[in-house]
Every structure is written in C-alpha cells, then in structure tokens.
C-alpha cells in the first residue's frame, strides 16, 4: 500500500512537470492550450491513477517504469493533440527514444524475435500507406511507430491499429450524430491511439 501511495504522488508530480510543455508550446507556437493550474492538477491526478493501475498489473521494475513513463508522455501528447490537432516533436521524439530502448531490450532478452518483426513491418507499412493518402498525419505515424516497436508481441500492432482507428471512427460518428461537427471535421487521432493502447495494456 505504501508503494502505491508513493507512486501516486511521484507520478502526480512527474505529470505536472511534464505538462509545462504546454506552456512552452503556447509561448513558441502561438497556441492556446489550456494549461492552467487546475487543469494541470486534474490531468496529473488522472494520469497518476492510470499509472498506478498499470503498476498493479505489471509490478514495479525498471522495465515497467519505462513503459509507464512512455504512457505518461503519450497521455500528455494526446491532450496537446486534442487541443491543437497537432503532434509536436518535443513530445513524440522522447517517446520514440524510450520505445527504441524497449525494442532493443526486448530483442536482447528474447521477449520478441526476428520472426515476429514481420508483423511489425506489415503494421508499419499499413500506417505509412494511410499517411501517404492523408488518412493520418505525420505526427500520428511517429506515435504509431513508437508504440508498435515497444510491444512485446508485434502481432498486437495490427490490433492496436484497427482498435484505435475504430475508436476514432466511433467518436467521429457520435459527434456527427449530435451535430457538433461538420462532415469536413478532422478529429485528432492521438487520443484514440492512447485509449486503445491503454485498454490493450490492461487486457492483454
């Protein structure tokens, strides 16, 4: 119980600090992301709860800490994408770095193997093709790449792609039905990717 409370506090502070990237973006890119103190506190508490659930499932280790830190970056990236409809390299690049380390580590310890990389290649090719036809943006491709290479089972990469696009589609249809958006509305994809990723982390 003590370590759960400690993790809760640590990730509240960590998320709160990470959220200062919103102030940086507002200042340097003339955006208007809501990064008031109440919003930062709320998002930090929500993410800390989600992080604790992951630790309860996977235990506390350097390995799980890296995954949860990656999740925290994805969580913040999703909020920024929701607010701006843009994914900034200031968040996507650190996520790619952590994911690359996890990819190498998984290969070294034998969690993944070269044969399963075929599934990863297929999934990434589909993502790139979608990007070429402007179905998804470059930032979304970076996020998919980061998440897919960090998986311990690359077959899940296909599920992640289908699941996230499905969530995005359902959300878009729902918004259309309540007439809150037009047919030309382009919904941010990263929040759907994050939701799909978290659900898969919990149930797989």
Please give the residue range of the domain that contains residue 51: 2-203
CA–CA gap between residue 143 and residue 40 (Å, rounded): 23
Instruction: Say what the pLDDT of residue 133 is.
Output: 85
SS (H, E, C) the chain: CHHHHHHHHHHHHHHHHHCHHHHHHHHHHCCCCCCCHHHHHHHHHHHHHHHHHHHHHHCCCHHHHHHHHHHHHHHHHHHHHHHHCCCCHHHHHHHHHHHHHHHHHHHHHCCCCCCCHHHHHHHHHHHHHHHHCCCCCHHHHHHHHHHHHCCCCCHHHHHHHHHHHHHHHHHHHHHHHCCCCCCCCCCCCHHHHHHHHHHHHHHC
Mean pLDDT value of segment 166-171: 90
User: How confident is the prediction for the chain on average, in pLDDT?
Assistant: 90
74 pLDDT band, cuts 50/70/90, is very high
| Non-local CB neighbours of 161 within 8 Å, separated by 6+ positions | 123, 126, 127, 144
69 pLDDT band, cuts 50/70/90, is very high
185 pLDDT band, cuts 50/70/90, is low
Mean pLDDT value of segment 167-184: 77
Q: Please state the domain count of the chain.
A: 1
CA–CA gap between residue 17 and residue 9 (Å, rounded): 12
Asked if 197 and 147 count as a contact pair (C-beta separation under 8 A), the reply is yes
Instruction: Say what the pLDDT of residue 16 is.
Output: 96
């Amino acid at each position: 119980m003590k370590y759960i409370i400690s993790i809760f506090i640590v990730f509240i502070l960590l998320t709160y600090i990470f959220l200062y990237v919103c102030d940086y973006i507002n200042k340097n890119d003339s955006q208007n992301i809501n990064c008031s103190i109440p919003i930062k506190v709320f998002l930090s508490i929500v993410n800390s709860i989600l992080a604790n659930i992951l630790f309860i499932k996977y235990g506390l280790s350097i390995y799980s800490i890296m995954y949860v830190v990656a999740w925290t970056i994805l969580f913040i990236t999703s909020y920024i994408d929701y607010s701006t409809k843009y994914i900034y390299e200031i968040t996507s690049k650190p996520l790619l770095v952590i994911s690359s380390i996890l990819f190498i580590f998984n290969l070294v310890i034998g969690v993944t193997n070269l044969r399963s990389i075929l599934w990863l290649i297929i999934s990434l090719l589909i993502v790139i093709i979608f990007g070429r036809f402007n179905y998804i943006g470059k930032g979304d491709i970076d996020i998919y790449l980061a998440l897919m290479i960090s998986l311990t089972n690359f077959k899940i990469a296909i599920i992640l792609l289908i699941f996230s696009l499905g969530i995005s589609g359902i959300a878009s249809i729902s918004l259309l039905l309540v007439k809150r958006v037009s047919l030309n509305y382009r919904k941010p994809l990263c929040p759907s990717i994050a939701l799909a990723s978290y659900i898969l982390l919990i149930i797989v």
